Each structure stands twice: as C-alpha cells, then as structure tokens.
Amino acid sequence: MLLDALESQLVLVDYQAKLMPSIFENTQVVANAVCLAKIARLLNVPVWGTEENPSRLGPNLPEIRALCAKTLSKMHFSAVEEGLGEWLRPEAKAPQGNARSLPKHLQKSVAPERNMIVMAGCEAHVCLMQTSLDLLEDEFDVWVVTDACSSRTERNRDAAFDRLAGAGAELVTTEMVAFEWLRTAEHEQFTAVLNLVK
C-alpha cells in the first residue's frame, strides 16, 4: 500500500531544544523532519507536534514548532495517553438540518478520514515508539520515517525500528513519503517538493 496525501497526517515527536544536542545524527534528523513538514504543508497534509515535559526539556526547535498546526505538551511518553488520538480522529459532528434533509446514506461526510499517520521524532525507542504502538492499537496505519527519527544511541534507535516493524508499522524514508504523496511528476507541487528533497 502506498501513502496517500489525502489520507495522511504527519506527527513530529519531541524535537526539543535541550534533547537534540545529545541525539545521534541530530542535524540530519532535524533537516529531514523540517523537509517532511514543509512537503506536508505544500500538499495540505496536517502537521502536529508533541513536546515531552517541556518545562525540563524545552520547547521543540523553532523551525519544527513553526510548521505544526498545534503542539501537544505531555508528560506520558505516549502522546496517545494525553489526547493525540482525538486530534488525529476528531469526533464526527452530528448531521445538521431537519426532517427534510437528505437521508443519511446520501449525505457526504465533511472531511475524509486521515488514518495514515506518518511519524517522525525522538527518542525513537521511547516517545516515538510508545506513541506509534498506541496508534497501531487504535487502528491507525503508522508509517515511521526512519531518516527523521533517532535516539541518543544508534542501538536504541535501531531496536525501536525492529520492534515497530514487528508490530505492523511501515518503515519509510523522507523521500519515499514525498514521492508517494505526489504519485506523479505531473503533480502541481512536483517542482516545489523536488527542490525540498534535493
């Protein structure tokens, strides 16, 4: 199955100022996360952020925070425990109208469900992994962008990828996401996206 921009949302997990200096390959990881978020915004894919214990770890880096529609401050390692699922799958609104409205089976939903959750962040073996596992349990499709994720050690990062793949998450890269969201070189944003990934 390929990613579909119309069914996707991007979650950027804990790219926090006090944490990032100790993260393995942090410069490239942040660059890929920023690239992903910029592509998402070009293609109208919602972008959400999370921050773990920001009073201790600081806010997300400004370049990450600026690209997120909203940022969830949390104390649980899994953002799902603190309401991320409600952001990703808001409750459907009751149909409006009166008895003469169209029957339910003819009413069109206001917005399609966006169950493809593209995840990137730190630390891969803690907050990113626990959030992703909870989203899988809540029946979202989870895609983990490996080159935009890391931990303080390479071993912890790789162990997280192994566990996530075993649990049913798809492991992808920034460019895989970009070109699956585009699908064609004829897409109106193709040149803009190509310039971001080069």
**Domain ranges across the chain:** 5-86+112-197
What does the alpha-carbon distance between residue 172 and residue 149 come to, in Å, rounded to a whole number?
A: 11
The pLDDT of 49-73, averaged and rounded, is 97
The pLDDT of 2-15, averaged and rounded, is 97
- The confidence band for 113, taking pLDDT boundaries of 50, 70 and 90, is confident
Distances from the Cα of 132 to the Cα of 69, 137, 165, angstroms: 20, 9, 11
Instruction: Find tokens 């931990």 and name the residue.
Output: 151
Bridge partners (DSSP) of residue 70 are: 48
Helix (H) and strand (E) counts for the chain? 8, 6
Q: Are 139 and 116 in contact, with CB atoms under 8 Å apart?
A: no
| pLDDT beyond 70 at 110 | no
| pLDDT beyond 80 at 120 | yes
Q: What is the pLDDT of residue 112?
A: 60
pLDDT more than 70, % of the chain = 89
State the CATH architecture for 5-86+112-197: 3-Layer(aba) Sandwich (3.40)
Residue 66 main-chain phi, psi, to 5 deg: -65, -25
Q: What is the pLDDT of residue 90?
A: 81
Q: Identify which of 187, 148, 139 has the alpha carbon closest to the alpha carbon of residue 37.
A: 148
Q: What is the pLDDT of residue 96?
A: 58
For the chain, state the CA radius of gyration. 17
- CA 5 vs. chain centroid, Å, equals 12
Residue 114 main-chain phi, psi, to 5 deg: -115, 80
Q: Rounded to two decimals, what is the model's pTM?
A: 0.90
Arithmetic mean of pLDDT over the chain:
92
What does the alpha-carbon distance between residue 20 and residue 24 come to, in Å, rounded to a whole number?
A: 9
The pLDDT of 88-115, averaged and rounded, is 64
